[in-house]
Structure 1
Amino acid sequence: MFDAILIDEGMDLVVDSDEIKFEGKQPIFWLAWQTLRPVTPEKQEQRRLIWTYDMAQSLDALKVPTAKELFGQELGTSMLKGQYPGGIKKSEVMSRCYRTPGPILTMAHGIGMGLLRKEGMLTGLTTKKEWQDIGYEVTGDFRKIGQVLVISRPSENSCNPISSIWTESPLIKFETYKNREEELKVLANQVKANLEYDLLKPSHDILVIVLGNSQDAQILEQKVAKTLISHNVEIFIPSALESNILNPIFPNTNANNFWYEGAVTVSRIHRAKGNEANMVYIVGLDNIASNESDIKLRNQLFVALTRSRAWVNLSGVDGNHPFYEELRKVMESGNSFQFEYYPPKVDIGETIDIR
């Protein structure tokens, strides 16, 4: 049917369940392949399918599928290896980030993979090449268990200039509060200050993201929205038809609506994904801290952090959570992490060189 297909956010189309796969292949990728015309009749296997990947932003699947799993044993064996005529690489790794400021991006990687956990690295990249591919410099040898490694991100691979021109305050702030009410009251006052004194626009400039599993996040989203409204801040829940609707219900919804002029968007992570703002507030960090070894929850935080184009403000309720100490260590580390290497606690499978 098609000459070419482009798939963005390819990690969101990956399924883990064997029952959903088609003859062992990833169904959406295989469907896309089948709907493509060959480049030439003589080379039936050569088709214009391009997809992008960032497994750190996956909120569902945990393992990176190999090309063989995507397209089958015969086709997948050579799918991503080598080059096409003219020196065109079959797979390309993008090492530079243009949206998220360097300090926020390195924090997202550090906390997302659990690099500085007391118990050791939770998940993530385990070779020097893989780290170099995504824009880091590595000192040390991953092949030696217990080796002290240093991973640093040079400024040229983080192209957002905000960290070099904004000197008034840190780009990243993190605070905990004695209860949820206090956390949200401070949030409301900070948002009001952004609007009244910093002259940020409510829509597109400010985004509030709530974290946690489905039920926790839904409850927190409502609490955040009600608190902001009580402080005379217009809010918008994605898919609503207008502002200050707390619980949009079909058919009075529009799934494409994420912003509303004059209102601050309050969103759970799955709807926030794919969007961005200058000021990002991340609330409910205790929902992550209380189950810090859950990779999907850490991925929520990674995605939330990387929505920011300039500043990020994290908050949660007080508690005896080692995760908070880890987070502060990651923040203090800046663009460089030093840790003893031990194999990750959670295997994410073979890395595909597509970002």
Structure 2
Amino acid sequence: MINTVWGSTDKPVSSTRLAELLSEEPDLEGTLYIGYPIIGTPEGSFPIDALLVSPTKGLVLFSVVEGRTLPDYAEAQDEGFNKMQAKLLQHQTLIRKRKLLVGIHTVTFAPAIAKLDADEEYLLCNADNLVSAIEELEDFDPAVFPSLVSVIQAISTLRRGRKKRDLRDQNSRGTKIKTLEDSIANLDSQQSAAVVETYEGVQRIRGLAGCGKTIVLALKVAYLHARHPDWFIAVTFNTRSLKKQFENLITTFVLEQANEEPDWDKIRILNAWGAPGGSNRTGIYYEFCRDHGVEYLDFGTAKNRFGSDKAFEEACDIALQGAKQFVPKYDAVLVDEAQDFAPNFLLLCYEYLKDPKRLVYAYDELQNLGNRSLPPVEEIFGKNTDGTARVVIHPPEPGKPKQDIILDTCYRNSRPVLSTAHALGFGVYRAEGLVQIFENKNLWFDIGYQEDNGEIEDGEIVTLTRTPKSSPEFLEKHSPVEDLIQFEVFDTPEAQTAWLVAEIKRNLTEDELIPDDIVVINPDPLKTKDAVGEARRTLMQMGINSNLAGVTTIADVFTEPGTVTFTGIFRAKGNEAAMVYVINAQDCFGALSPRHVARVRNRLFTAITRSKAWVRVLGVGKSMSALKAEFEKVKTENFALHFRYPTENERKTMTTVNRDMSKAEQDRSAKRRNNFADIIASLDSGDSFIEDYPASLVKKLLAHAKKPKRRQK
């Protein structure tokens, strides 16, 4: 089966026909990229019209002809072949001695030309002979396929330049984390699509912590910059420590795709708020105020006027209301961590865009450290003068880029770690009951859970488990489950600190971890500096260097090579480490105000999900004991979520998560479920027969029926 990824193309009609023909052929396998990749050459960027990456055929490069005029197709095929071969020859994994292990096939596809002269050396195809020509191509060694995919996705260079580890024990933590990093080096098909799919309008990317949203956005910036070097592109975020990470990732990817440094006059990596004082301090909101001649409020001023929770929201509202006429500036704006922004910041970004308004925002509601969820797009972006919504999220359509992308596979957290984070974040095993719940029940499936027993229905008992796809098994097989995640209760803060320091020393002296592998997170950002002081002093006396992110480092840098990183929860977001220590977790058990319980629980969720391998959750006193009791319950359930699903009235008393599904999307979702139920009821009653339905639908139903059944309790 062929999966098509729609990038930016100036040959839409012929490209659509190419995708249709290949997707209709069931025996073909692989991914068809439209408008990707862009190959870096000494002369600059060289875009490929279309590329088929197949485990059976290797690479098939398409020169796509739009219209009835046939260019010098032999020259075009030679140029594409030579540039792709030069790219692949740079990667030792694709070479044996002096031979390239990948077959590079070139095809010119001209669907509007009815009669084509046959040429044995240069394949020239239209709709009549395309599939047969590809089927006759020489087969490819599938063992080389993963390395080929890594190179094509421009991921391979990420693994170069990492600090080398001095590994002597094949069972050490250092060896295990290196193996894990090698295993997740490639993007999966969902991530690859999210990078390339270029929607001419608002596009949203939803995904769990650890699904690769930040890397996807960085790759997307690089792709758009290489494909459209004249575009003015901005990427923005809430966590300042992400700035250096974005800069490094974008530089790596642009070098890979365009063979040159990014043009930083065309790419802007901006903080959301910003302030006067030069390029290192500027931000989207500050520049919007400056360009529109409206009042700029710094955080202190906005906080005094509106309170800290509403400071940025009200500042953005004043800016939007004060602008007499919007001044379009950017060709594309990409927003990371959108869940942490007031909706009107997204509107501000939208108004700052030229037409078509290419706004891409990525988010995970459970990492929301505030008190609100994103509303539907109709509410965020408002209505036209005729009452219609300015932005509508459309369902996937064949032959068109996806507007709504969900990344449901978590490549950072193992199943036990992620399920624990969700159990504690939602309060599944909390004595007082659930803290928060998804407003849309189907989102449980979107983020990778399945109904293991019971159903997600009001008032019903349900057991939810992670699917093998959403939580790959290799992420947890490297260590016993008791080692993957531990909760430790202490009588005093001093005892907690002593245990923490001893474990960090052991990680560095016995486990073959390096300081960069270790992050210590304190959930309460206001107390972090004092809370970590004694541990840092003790480590220093042992000769172990550490940094306090954003305090002993510059604000845009999270960690420094050769140091253990201590951080508050806000700076931890978007970052990750092999070994994560969450200290003072008792602060995340509850809150004085019921409406703040979800907020502190989300801090714990975010802290736990920073881990690529191992988590240690530490705390003091009775609240920590109660938190550990919740963990023991999820552990007893083999990291399943077993609970009574709340009724509509009960949900009204909870914090609701992911409220951004529009009425149209809700109607489509309900219709899909109802249509399936109608088919089953009709078959059961004898009103219809299996022969009455299209063969393609019957085939899909049978395929689903043959899938392994979920375990029943």
TM-score normalized with structure 1 length: 0.82
2:559 counterpart of 1:259:
yes
- Structure-2 separation of matches of 1:5 and 1:76: 25
Match of 1:314 among 603, 617, 641: 617
Deviations 1:47-102 (CA, angstroms, capped at 9, x unpaired): 32211110111112422222123211346465213346724332122211112222
**Could you tell me how far 1:4 is from its partner in structure 2?**
6.1
1 CA distance for matches of 2:379 and 2:238?
18
Q: Mark the CA change 1:255 to 1:303 in structure 2 (over 3 Å): closer, same or farther.
A: same
1:120 aligns with 2:424: no
Higher helix share: 2
| Contact 2:439 2:658 survives alignment (8 Å) | no
- Deviation string 1:6-53 (CA, Å, 9 cap, x unpaired) is 66679x9799746345379833212221232224xxxxxxx3221111
Verify the 8 A CA contact 1:209 1:283 in the aligned structure 2.
yes
* Residue matched to 1:99: 412
2:530 paired with 1:219: yes
Judging changes above 3 Å, is the alpha-carbon distance between structure 1 residues 271 and 281 closer, same or farther for their aligned structure 2 residues? Answer: same
1:346 aligned to 2:654?
A: yes
Shift in CA distance, 196/353, structure 1 to aligned 2, threshold 3 Å: farther
Q: Any residues of structure 2 matched to 1:75-224 within 5 Å, and which? A: 76=389, 78-83=391-396, 86-138=399-451, 139-145=453-459, 147-159=460-472, 161-167=474-480, 169-203=482-516, 205-212=517-524, 214-224=525-535
Query: Is 1:324 paired with 2:655?
Result: no
Displacement of 1:297 after TM fit?
Answer: 1.1
Which residue matches 1:235?
A: 546
Q: Tell me, yes or no, if structure 1 residue 285 matches structure 2 residue 285.
A: no
Q: CA deviation at 1:193?
A: 0.4
Partners of 2:352 and 2:412 in 1: CA distance: 33
| CA distance 1:142–1:160, change in 2 (3 Å) | closer
Structure 2: runs of 5+ lacking an equivalent: 1-229, 240-270, 274-307, 322-341, 663-713
Alignment of 1:298-313 (within 5 A): 298-313=601-616
Aligned to 1:34: 351
The answer as to whether partners of 1:8 and 1:53 remain within 8 angstroms in 2 is no
1-structure distance, mates of 2:569, 2:370: 12
Q: Deviations over 1:149-199 (max 9, x none)?
A: 111102221137231232485200111011010111011000000000001
Alignment match, 2:359 = 49
User: Residue 224 of structure 1: SS of its match in structure 2?
Assistant: helix
CA distance in 1, matches of 2:457, 2:534: 48
On the 8 A contact 2:577/2:612 being kept in 1, the answer is yes
Cα contact 2:436–2:657 (8 A) shared by 1: no
Secondary structure in 1 matching 2:527: helix
Distance in 1 of aligned mates of 2:414 and 2:481? 16
Q: Does the 8 A contact of 1:93 with 1:353 survive in 2?
A: no
Could you tell me which of 65, 75, 90 is aligned with 2:375? 65
Is the 2:416–2:481 contact (alpha carbons within 8 Å) kept by the matching residues of 1?
no
> Is residue 208–residue 282 contact of structure 1 (8 Å, CA) maintained in 2?
yes
Equivalent residue runs for 1:243-254 within 5 Å: 248=552, 254=554
Q: CA deviation at 1:323?
A: 3.0
- The 8 Å contact of residues 464 and 641 in structure 2, kept in 1 or not, is answered as yes
Whichever residue aligns with residue 366 of structure 2, its letter is A
Secondary structure of 1:156 counterpart: coil
Aligned partner of residue 89 in structure 1, secondary structure: coil
Contact 1:9 1:53 in 2 (8 A): no
1:353, distance to aligned residue in structure 2 (A): 6.1
- Equivalent pair of 1:3/1:37 in contact (CA under 8 Å): no
**What is the DSSP-based 3-state SS (H/G/I as helix, E as strand, rest coil) of the residue aligned with 1:155?**
coil
Judged with a 3 Å threshold, the aligned counterparts in structure 2 of structure 1 residues 63 and 128 are, in CA distance, closer, same or farther, namely: closer
CA shift, 1:136, in A, is: 0.5
The answer to whether the 8 Å contact 1:279/1:311 transfers is: yes
In 1, the alpha carbon distance for the partners of 2:463 and 2:272 equals 33
**Bigger Rg over Cα:** 2
Mapped to 1, the partners of 2:559 and 2:371 lie a distance apart of 27
Is the Cα–Cα contact under 8 Å of residues 177 and 318 in structure 1 kept in the other structure? yes
Structure 1 residues 290 and 85, CA gap change in structure 2 (3 angstroms): closer
Rounded Cα–Cα distance in structure 2 between residues aligned with 1:133 and 1:70: 22
Provide the alpha-carbon RMSD of the alignment.
3.1
For 2:422 and 2:403, the matched residues in 1 are separated by: 26
Specify the code of the residue in structure 2 equivalent to 1:326.
E
**Does 1 or 2 have the higher relative contact order (CA < 8 Å, sep 6+)?**
1
* Whole-angstrom CA distance in 2 between matches of 1:340 and 1:137: 15
1:209-230 CA distance string (max 9 Å, x none): 1122x43333212233234334
Read off the aligned partner of 2:601 and give its amino acid letter: R
Confirm or deny: 8 A CA contact 1:188 1:231 kept in the other structure. Answer: no
Would the alpha carbon gap of residues 255 and 78 (structure 1) be closer, same or farther in structure 2, given more than 3 Å must change? closer
Once residues 227 and 26 of structure 1 are traced to their aligned partners in structure 2, the CA distance between those partners, rounded to angstroms, is 44
